[in-house]
DNA sequence: AGGGATCTTCAGGCTGGCTTTAGGTGGGTC
DNA sequence: GACCCACCTAAAGCCAGCCTGAAGATCCCT
């Protein structure tokens, strides 16, 4: 107990020196509560905690949908314990005694990888484009689009509120070598209106005669 | 050298049994090339590699903006080496000799946390994938899958809601050296539908013509 | 060595997206 | 008001891409 608190203080001091802000909980329940109430970059967790052990706390958090990176500290060093920690949802573990250098390095690795990249989706009013899924929705309604339709709409949405010329659309949605009838753009505009405007009684896809088309911004 | 190759084979065999598709490179340059050309769930890297050591390979990849999780295998056990591995951009390390159980568990943890937050078992609506058991269930019904079927479904499930291209599926579920008919993907998609959709009157595995396949998220 | 499961190849049939066509609509200009 | 030109859109043909059953190849277990 004394030991654990000294260790906690040590870690806290060291991490603070590295620029982390640190909260310390001295038992499992408190830890769980703090973790659910706050958002942390990373959680460092001792397996042997009063009132709720590390494994339990870990899986509780995961069940609750909390995917904050967790570093588990364990006194035992049987390999199956390590595996158990990981399978309980920890992201990494460290067996005591461990070196401070290693702890910091591992925490840095955890934090760095913690949160990042989110699929980009484009919104224009209540119209949402999902490039990863090649589909779109207006409000709550899913709209099925063919790849070509999506490409055209995407080109328009990326410049929502601006006029996009027919040749720009051709350049962006069609193969570079395409040299067919430019009328094809009109055909696709027509199809898009039938899908994203007409059923909703809207008119967001506007023709600008002699210049191109504009997707009305919010 | 002989040793390394035997180890590589061992790991490859074991991982294949876990449903991973495995490519092996026997020197650093090859490894770098393969890593940049393909997309992997995880990279396992020996520190002592001919033609380019593990540290160098690791930082090269990171400089190039490749953040694939990397597991570093090291023969030394000085703690600063471990820290060095981590600071060079590795996500985890393991000192030889290590146990197979630990390697697998750590790899699972790495892969799990590789992209976004990801539970050990992947759920897509009422479809649950159990990577450890190579099986899945829809609602209360257990569904038997072959390793290949599982690999394909796994690749789709990890990106549920997104379109996964046929070549991505090939790259993830088949070996690097596979260069057969891409039609094989269609064959497996067909088999998967027969197992996870048709019996349940669903249609969650969607073809996006000219783009790939999408497993509908919840 | 035999048998079964799994993986892969192959080929025929079909679907549905892409493109073209052609007739219609409406705004702008003289 | 007449004309022209840009644009709209329904319809239809074509063809790449996809589906799927079946047969051959391979691997693995007994």
Q: How far apart are CA B40 and CA B34, in angstroms?
A: 9
CB contact residues (below 8 A), chain A span 10-49, against chain B? none
- Put simply, whether B100 touches A (Cβ < 8 Å) is no
Contacts of A105 in chain B (CB under 8 A): 82-83, 86-87
Task: Calculate the alpha carbon distances from B204 to A169, B126, B134, B150, B190 in Å.
Answer: 32, 11, 20, 16, 12
Cα B170 from chain centre: 12
Of B104, B109, B211, the CB nearest to A134: B211
The whole-number Å distance from A191's CA to D3's C1' is: 30
The neighbour count for residue A192, using CB atoms within 10 Å, is 23
Torsion of CA B189, B193, B194, B196, to 10 degrees: 130
Q: Which of A62, A105, A134 sits opposite B163 (nearest CB)?
A: A134
User: Does the CB of A83 have a partner CB in chain B at under 8 Å?
Assistant: yes
From the number of C-beta atoms within 10 Å of its C-beta (0-12, 13-18, 19+), residue A204 rates as buried
Model confidence band, residue B55 (pLDDT cutoffs 50, 70, 90): confident
pLDDT (mean) for A113-141: 76
Nucleotide at minimal C1' distance from the B150 CA: C6
- Give the one of A67, A79, A113 whose C-beta lies nearest to B99's C-beta: A79
pLDDT at B114: 53
pLDDT, tens digit (0-9, with 9 covering 90-100), for B23-45: 777 777 778 877 776 677 788 88
Higher-pLDDT residue of B43, B187: B187
Task: Give the residue carrying structure tokens 């364990």.
Answer: A74
Question: Which range has the top average pLDDT, A32-36, A64-68, B138-142?
Answer: B138-142
- Average pLDDT over chain B reads 76
Residue B89 region by backbone torsions, left for phi larger than 0, else alpha for psi between -120 and 50, else beta:
left
Return left, alpha or beta for B125; rule: phi > 0 is left, psi -120 to 50 is alpha, else beta: left
- Place A134 in a pLDDT band, splitting at 50, 70 and 90: confident
Q: Which residues contact B41 (CB under 8 A, 6 or more apart)?
A: B20, B68, B69, B111, B114, B172
- For residue range B95-107, what is the model confidence (pLDDT) as tens digits? 666 666 667 777 7
The reply to whether B67 touches chain A by the CB within 8 Å rule is yes
Residue A118: predicted pLDDT: 35
**Whether A79 and B90 lie within 8 Å, measured CB to CB:** no
Q: What pTM, to 2 d.p., does this model score? A: 0.57
pLDDT at position A25: 80
Please, are residues B40 and B68 in contact by the beta-carbon 8 Å criterion? yes
């Amino acid at each position: 107990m004394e030991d654990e608190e000294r260790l906690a203080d040590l870690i806290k001091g060291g991490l603070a020196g590295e620029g982390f802000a640190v909260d310390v909980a001295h038992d499992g329940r408190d830890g769980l509560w703090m973790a659910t109430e706050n958002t942390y970059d990373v959680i460092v967790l001792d397996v042997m905690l009063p009132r709720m052990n590390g494994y339990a706390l870990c899986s509780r958090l995961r069940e609750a949908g909390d995917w904050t990176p967790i570093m588990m500290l364990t006194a035992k060093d049987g390999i199956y314990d390590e595996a158990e920690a990981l399978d309980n949802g920890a992201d990494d573990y460290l067996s005591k005694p461990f070196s401070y250098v290693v702890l910091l390095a591992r925490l840095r690795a955890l934090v760095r990888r913690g949160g990042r990249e989110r699929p980009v989706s484009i919104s224009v009013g209540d119209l949402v484009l999902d490039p990863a899924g090649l589909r779109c929705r207006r409000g709550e309604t899913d709209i099925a689009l063919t790849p070509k339709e999506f490409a055209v709409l995407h080109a328009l949405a990326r410049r929502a509120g601006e006029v996009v010329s027919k040749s720009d659309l051709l350049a962006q949605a069609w193969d570079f070598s395409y040299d067919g009838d430019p009328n094809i753009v009109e055909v696709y505009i027509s199809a898009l209106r039938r899908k994203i405007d007409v059923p909703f009684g809207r008119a967001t896809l506007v023709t600008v005669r002699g210049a191109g088309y504009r997707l009305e911004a919010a």
